[in-house]
Amino acid sequence: MLQNIQSKLENGDSINLTEAMELVNLQGSECMELLSLANNIRSKLGDRIDLCSIVNAKCGLCPEDCKFCAQSVHNDADVTPYPLMDEEDILNMALMMQEEGAARFCIVTSGKETANEDFERILGAIKRIRRETSLSICISIGTLTKESARELKKAGAARIHHNLETSEGFFKNICTTHTYAEKIRTIQIARDAGLEVCCGGIIGLGESAKDRLELAFTLHELDVDSIPINILAPIAGTPFSGAEPLTPMEVLKTIAIFRLILPQKNIRVAGGREKNLRDLQCLCLLSGANGLLLGNYLTTLGRAPREDIRMILDLGLIPGGVHV
């Protein structure tokens, strides 16, 4: 089966959902062959590992009811809300992460949308980062209008981050205050404005393996540029606080199958990798991923950037940035 899939991909053909589902239950040596195949496909994109970082520029008090999120007012997580950071503080964080080795920097805010004075401050921060760093700038501020997307592009943003989170069929189990269609609309607006799109999701929410693969095929259809794969790290006070964690091999197989479905895209392993992959973290970069989120996450800590840089170098890979 793996040989047939390899031949299809080498001929420029795509695999389908039925073929992808056959890979889910691979075990033992066949599982390792899957990871190796995904790594070989990744290697055709080069040996540079795309490193991005984020700043939680506005935290908490989000009216949306996403069950995994510590920042939702519907959940009872131990998070201290704060308003949008000053331009100078956002810039200083960008400078620090550039020094740590990041090639991209994403400004993230809580809430369904960002407007008025907050939006203007973000535009100002983008312009400062563009002038004073070499970082590629990503923005994650909720839903967009055509006008706001154009303004972000004009200010110097290169990319919009807006996760679908899971499959369309499973989405209702994690959020009811906005729709899948709204998310796709924001992605389309960003694209129309000439912005790249970073869009992925979270695995380990109780979804089926088919749900994960349906997300991958949706991302393929939308032709997004970068796919972050987060692994649920259960947070006390959220409905998923007692969720059963995925095994490291489940995570690695998911990354590998995403690579087969999305052979030309930037696949980034993000939140939850430290807790879920444990001692196998380096294998995510030998299973098809070609990007990492460097440093801390929104409300949880990552590991020291120097440890990830060392891991990349130890694998004979190159830390930095790639442009897809």
> Tens of pLDDT along 239-255?
999 999 999 999 999 99
Nearest alpha carbon to residue 225 among 135, 138, 127: 138
High-pLDDT (> 70) share of the chain, %: 99
Number of domains in the chain: 1
Predicted structure pTM score = 0.95
Looking at residue 322, its pLDDT comes to 60
Instruction: Tell me whether residue 189 is in a domain.
Output: yes
Q: State the residue range of the domain holding 151.
A: 15-320
Instruction: Tell me whether residue 71 is in a domain.
Output: yes
**Residue 279 to residue 42: CA distance in whole angstroms:** 22
Give 272-294 as a DSSP string.
THHHHHGGGGGGGGGTT--EEE-
Instruction: Tell me whether residue 83 is in a domain.
Output: yes
CATH number at residue 70: 3.20.20.70
Looking at residue 134, its pLDDT comes to 96
Between 138 and 233, name the one with better pLDDT: 138
Instruction: Tell me whether residue 3 is in a domain.
Output: no
Looking at residue 32, its pLDDT comes to 96
Looking at residue 300, its pLDDT comes to 86
Asked if the model's pLDDT at residue 68 lies above 60, the reply is yes
In this prediction, residues 15-23 reach a mean pLDDT of 94
Instruction: Tell me whether residue 1 is in a domain.
Output: no
Instruction: Please give the torsion angle defined by the CA atoms of residues 36, 37, 42 and 43, in that order, rounded to the nearest 10 degrees.
Output: 70
Classify the C-alpha dihedral 234-279-287-199 as positive or negative: positive
Looking at residue 8, its pLDDT comes to 87
Instruction: Tell me whether residue 129 is in a domain.
Output: yes
Instruction: Tell me whether residue 249 is in a domain.
Output: yes
Instruction: Tell me whether residue 31 is in a domain.
Output: yes
Looking at residue 89, its pLDDT comes to 97
> Tens of pLDDT along 181-228?
999 999 999 999 999 999 999 999 999 999 999 999 999 999 999 999
What residue type is 11 in one-letter code?
N
